[in-house]
Amino acid sequence: MKFYMAAILAIAFLELFSVCIIRGSLGSQTRPRSVCEGYHEKPIKKQRVVDYEKLEHGLAKDAILTLRDGSRVCVKLERPWVKNIIHYVDRKKKSTEPQ
């Protein structure tokens, strides 16, 4: 009788342990790199920006600006200062392309 109780407890423990492991691994999945959680509202000096990536998901249009120090900043694409930065980066890329 004690053997059966020990076996049942061991199985129950293993089931509970596997459920915890599965839930933990699902919760630790990383988000895609192209998802913005918050937005930078203040204008950034265009000389600090080295690249950008446009994002379109649903009706929202965002961009991720890559700065000289390697940091990435989410911004709203419709902001005038963001459009100015994108135009600046595009012109800079064109001028450095080989002819």
Q: Would you say residue 25 has pLDDT above 70?
A: no
* pLDDT score recorded for residue 23: 62
Tens-place pLDDT, residues 30-60: 545 556 778 999 999 999 999 999 988 777 7
Burial of 85 (0-12, 13-18, 19+ CB in 10 A): buried
| pTM check: above 0.75 | no
Contact status, residue 60 vs residue 75, Cβ threshold 8 Å: no
Residues in Cβ contact with 21 at an 8 Å cutoff, skipping those fewer than 6 apart: none
Tell me: pLDDT of 10 over 90. no
